[in-house]
A and B are shown apart, each in its own frame.
Chain A
Amino acid sequence: MAFSLTGILAVLLELFRALLVPAGILLLAALGVAVYVYLRRSQFNPAPAVKVAGAVGALVALLVFAMGPGFSSASHAQITSIVDYAALIGASIGFGVGAGVVIYPFVQLMFRRTPPAQRAP
Chain B
Amino acid sequence: MTHDSGNNNHDSINPGRRRFLQATGATTILAAAGTVAGGALLRTGASHALASSARIVIVGAGAAGISVASRLARALDGARITLVDPREQHYYQPGLTLVATGAWQPERVIDRNERYIPRGVEWVRSSVAEYDPENDRVVTSDGDTLDYDYLVVATGLQLNFADIEGMDPALIGQDGIACVYDTPDHASRSWSMIREFTDSGGTGLFTRAPGALKCAGAPLKVAMLSEHRLQRQGNRESADLQYFPPGDGMFSQPDIDDFLKSHFPDDRGINLNWHHQLKAIEPGARQAVFNTEDGERTVDYDFIHVVPPMSAPDPVRTSDLAWADGPFEGWLEVDQYTMQHRRYPNVFGVGDVVGTPIGKTAASVKAQVPVAVENLLAVIQDSELRGSYNGYTSCPLITEQGRGILVEFDYDLEMVPSFNFIDPMEEQWVPWLMKDRMLHAAYNAMLRGRI
**Contact residues of A with B, CB < 8 Å?**
1-4, 6-7, 10-15, 17, 69, 71-75, 78-81, 83-84, 87-88
Question: How many B residues touch A, CB cutoff 8 Å?
Answer: 34
Say if the beta carbon of B299 comes within 8 Å of chain A. no
**A3-B451, A7-B445, A12-B441 as given contacts; A81 in contact with B428, CB under 8 Å:** yes
Q: Which of A7, A14, A17, A78 contacts B402 (CB 8 A)?
A: A78
What's the minimum C-beta distance from A89 to chain B, rounded to whole angstroms? Answer: 12
Near A by CB (< 8 A), chain B positions 268-317 give: none
Of the listed stretches B32-40, B122-130, B144-152, B418-426, chain A binds B418-426
B429 close to A79 (CB less than 8 A): yes
Distance of A75 Cα from B432 Cα, bound (Å): 12
Max chain A Cβ within 10 angstroms of own Cβ: one of B400, B423, B437, B451 = B451
Distance of A71 Cα from B436 Cα, bound (Å): 10
The 3 closest A-B CB pairs, nearest first, are A74-B402, A10-B450, A15-B441
* Residue interface mask B348-368, A partner, CB < 8 A = 1: 000000000000000100110
Distance of A75 Cα from B403 Cα, bound (Å): 10
A7 close to B451 (CB less than 8 A): yes
What's the minimum C-beta distance from B256 to chain A, rounded to whole angstroms? Answer: 17
Q: Which of B408, B422, B426, B444 contacts A1 (CB 8 A)?
A: B408
In the complex, what residues of B have CB within 8 A of residue A10's CB?
445, 448, 450-451
A74 close to B451 (CB less than 8 A): no
**A73-B103, A74-B402 as given contacts; A11 in contact with B441, CB under 8 Å:** yes
Q: Which of B394, B400, B429, B445 contacts A13 (CB 8 A)?
A: B445
B441 close to A69 (CB less than 8 A): no
9 contacts between A and B (CB under 8 A): A1-B367, A7-B445, A13-B445, A69-B429, A73-B436, A78-B429, A83-B421, A83-B422, A83-B428
What's the minimum C-beta distance from A84 to chain B, rounded to whole angstroms? Answer: 4
What's the minimum C-beta distance from A31 to chain B, rounded to whole angstroms? Answer: 25
* Residue interface mask B385-396, A partner, CB < 8 A = 1: 000000010100
Distance of A79 Cα from B427 Cα, bound (Å): 10
Distance of A3 Cα from B397 Cα, bound (Å): 20
In the complex, what residues of B have CB within 8 A of residue A72's CB?
402, 429, 432-433, 436-437
What's the minimum C-beta distance from A8 to chain B, rounded to whole angstroms? Answer: 8
**A72-B433, A72-B436, A74-B429 as given contacts; A1 in contact with B363, CB under 8 Å:** yes
Extra pairs beyond A71-B437, A72-B437 (6, CB < 8 Å): A1-B366, A1-B394, A10-B451, A13-B450, A84-B430, A88-B429
Distance of A72 Cα from B408 Cα, bound (Å): 22
In the complex, what residues of A have CB within 8 A of residue B400's CB?
78
A6 close to B450 (CB less than 8 A): yes
Say if the beta carbon of B442 comes within 8 Å of chain A. yes
What's the minimum C-beta distance from A13 to chain B, rounded to whole angstroms? Answer: 7
Say if the beta carbon of B401 comes within 8 Å of chain A. yes
Distance of A4 Cα from B418 Cα, bound (Å): 11
Distance of A81 Cα from B426 Cα, bound (Å): 8
Q: Which of B367, B418, B445 contacts A14 (CB 8 A)?
A: B445
B392 close to A1 (CB less than 8 A): yes
Distance of A72 Cα from B401 Cα, bound (Å): 9
Residue of B nearest to A10 (CB): B450
Residue of A nearest to B102 (CB): A73
B428 close to A14 (CB less than 8 A): no
In the complex, what residues of B have CB within 8 A of residue A11's CB?
438, 441-442, 445, 451
B418 close to A3 (CB less than 8 A): yes
What's the minimum C-beta distance from A111 to chain B, rounded to whole angstroms? Answer: 37
In the complex, what residues of B have CB within 8 A of residue A69's CB?
402, 429
In the complex, what residues of B have CB within 8 A of residue A84's CB?
428-430
Distance of A92 Cα from B450 Cα, bound (Å): 28
Max chain B Cβ within 10 angstroms of own Cβ: one of A14, A69, A75, A79 = A14
Say if the beta carbon of B416 comes within 8 Å of chain A. yes
Distance of A17 Cα from B444 Cα, bound (Å): 11
Distance of A71 Cα from B59 Cα, bound (Å): 38
In the complex, what residues of A have CB within 8 A of residue B451's CB?
3-4, 7, 10-11
What's the minimum C-beta distance from A36 to chain B, rounded to whole angstroms? Answer: 33
Distance of A80 Cα from B46 Cα, bound (Å): 50
What's the minimum C-beta distance from A21 to chain B, rounded to whole angstroms? Answer: 16
Residue of A nearest to B429 (CB): A84
B366 close to A83 (CB less than 8 A): no
Max chain A Cβ within 10 angstroms of own Cβ: one of B103, B363, B403 = B403
B401 close to A74 (CB less than 8 A): yes
In the complex, what residues of A have CB within 8 A of residue B422's CB?
83
Max chain B Cβ within 10 angstroms of own Cβ: one of A1, A4, A69, A78 = A1
B392 close to A14 (CB less than 8 A): no
In the complex, what residues of A have CB within 8 A of residue B401's CB?
73-74
A74 close to B403 (CB less than 8 A): yes
In the complex, what residues of B have CB within 8 A of residue A83's CB?
421-423, 428, 430
Residue of A nearest to B433 (CB): A72
Distance of A4 Cα from B448 Cα, bound (Å): 15
A1 close to B445 (CB less than 8 A): no
What's the minimum C-beta distance from A23 to chain B, rounded to whole angstroms? Answer: 15
What's the minimum C-beta distance from B419 to chain A, rounded to whole angstroms? Answer: 9
In the complex, what residues of A have CB within 8 A of residue B448's CB?
10, 14
**A1-B367, A3-B451, A75-B402 as given contacts; A87 in contact with B430, CB under 8 Å:** yes
